[in-house]
Amino acid sequence: MRGPAVAVAVAMAFLLHGQSTWLPLSREVERPFAGTMQRVGSNAHTAVRPYRLSDVRALEVNDSANTFSLLPALDRWAGVRNGRSFRWGPLLDAQVLYDIDSAKSGVGHRAGAGFWLEKDFLDKLSFHVDAQAWSERFPTYLDTLVRATQVTPGEGYGFGEAPAYTHYDWNGYLSWDPGQAFNLTVGRGKNSFGEGYRSLFLSTEAYSYPYLKVTTTVWKIKYVNLFSMMNDIRGADGDVADFNRKYTSMHYLSWNAGKRLNVALFESIVWSQGDSLYPRGFDVNYLNPVIFYRPVEFAVGSPDNALLGGGLNVKVGKQSLIYSQVLLDEFLMREVRAGNGWYANKQALQIGVVSRNAFKVTGLLLRAEWNYVRPFMYTHSDTRQNYSHSGQPLAHPYGSNFQELLLYGELVDARWRHSLRASMAWLGRDSTYSNGNNIFRPESDRFIDADGDPQNYGYHVGSPKGGTLLHVEMRSGFLVDPSTGTRIEASYMLRMRTPDSGDVAMANVFRLGLVCYFRERHPEQEVRYVLD
């Protein structure tokens, strides 16, 4: 069966769920819907993820045989295909890898098991929970990252001793539609704002977190209020009781201004719970549902970390999309025009294009994307309020002071998936003093000049030169279970790290096994800081 027929059938399976249900936050699971949702004239807000089932109910679908799980009993028992209000299924990972690194070579593995289940209560209320645990021996470059940050990429704290770690993740939510235009979701998981492979607003890079989300959809507008609790794990040695809490309030306003044009506004406030001398907890002032918190900040005299951004997405031709994000932390036009590298000019920019069925080849997706993040972006003078959670950035995995060019191609043919992804990053680096690379260092930790003051100028993207990072990965797999994105897959990764001085570090990683894409995977990583 060809790709479109598979997409239609998988869509039919999901449409049998309650309309308050959310899809897993996984591009593999989303794939059958993404092309139709992004077509010209669609009123879907595809930058807001995860997707709601009600957003895809309007798709024209027809059931078709032999397109569900290759395990017929699982389809029958789990209720995926027969429209049961209670559904469940397994989550399995079983991979072996061989890592040929400049420093050493060896065999690694990833073994994980878990489950997911959902229950619908009429059409207004849905419950979901999923959980998975892994035993993993990482390739050398990721092992170095885990040692430096104490966490595995997007999947939680790394328990145990090198070279083998155990880690786990779980997500759950209760989703309620009190009216046609509103949805309230309380749970634990991840959210994402943006059309790109990366997001400079909020991505799926970091670990799961507790949240309350209020979504309003009226006419051509979708408005999301997202309140969450994050962790600062520094100094806790993995003891959850010793984690320092911080909170975020985020707004995302998406407006489909025309058949081909989407305009978005984003803002985020991060504040810490305080300490024993000034216990603060959750600041109720930030429950204000109206976008733009800056007036609220000024009213309460707040020193909190505020970010403000905008997005512009334009549909071109029949199935192509040009997308962009601009994010501001601090901004003075006269300093930008001067071009002197003022440290407080904190901006991030993304420009990309994605084309589906490119060159009229069915199932071919092509993407090109450029990300540019200035030094000190996402940092704060109080490091408890930086833009991170559980030891990882909430936006781009490289933090700040870098630019990246990313190219991606994917071909889907029935159950077969083949992809090639290549990214080149130009990285700045910290030294004894901060050059805006490490978002866990205060922005005041800059070079001290002859007068004893922190140096204010000379901070440019990629300087001081920290080298380049090339990451290329090829994958080829056969889809086993569409509802969890599980496939049998072989992959090869080439990674070259060119420092500003010294030898080039190269790694070749070969993988083979059963891969579960129920969660987003994050292989492109680099050690940008060491957590105490």
Mean pLDDT by groups of 10 residues along the chain of 532 residues: 44 52 91 86 92 70 45 58 76 96 86 94 91 96 92 91 90 94 96 97 96 95 96 84 90 96 95 68 73 60 82 94 94 82 92 95 96 95 91 95 97 94 94 90 87 87 88 96 92 91 86 95 90 82
What is residue 364's predicted lDDT score, i.e. its pLDDT? 96
Q: How far is residue 186's CA from residue 298's CA, in Å, rounded to a whole number?
A: 29
DSSP 8-state secondary structure symbol assigned to residue 262: E
Closest CA to 439 of 374, 383, 501, 366: 383
> DSSP characters for 419-476?
EEEEEEEEEE---SS--S--TTS-TT-PPB-TTSSB--S---TT-SEEEEEEEEEEEE
Q: How far is residue 191's CA from residue 211's CA, in Å, rounded to a whole number?
A: 9
Separation in Å, CA 244 to CA 45, 230, 273, 286, 387? 34, 8, 7, 19, 14
Across-strand partners of 418?
A: 411, 476
Residue 276: which residues within 8 A CB-CB, separation 6 or more? Answer: none
Residue 456: which residues within 8 A CB-CB, separation 6 or more? Answer: 342, 343, 344, 446
Indicate the SS3 state at residue 296.
Answer: helix
Locate tokens 């028992």: which residue?
A: 77
CB 196 within 8 A of CB 221: no
Produce one character per residue of 281-299: b if its CB has 16 or more CB atoms within 10 Å, e if not.
Answer: eebebbeeeeeebeebbee
Separation in Å, CA 448 to CA 34, 254, 340, 400, 433? 50, 43, 17, 21, 8
Which tokens hold the place of 371? 């990300």
Q: Tell me whether the omega of the peptide bond preceding residue 464 falls within 30 degrees of 0, making it cis.
A: yes
Half-sphere exposure of 228 (CA within 13 A, CB side): 29
Residue 277: which residues within 8 A CB-CB, separation 6 or more? Answer: none
Closest CA to 274 of 304, 300, 250, 251: 304
Separation in Å, CA 130 to CA 88, 111, 189, 208? 9, 17, 10, 12
User: Does an H or E element contain 177, and which?
Assistant: strand 164-179
What is residue 276's predicted lDDT score, i.e. its pLDDT? 54
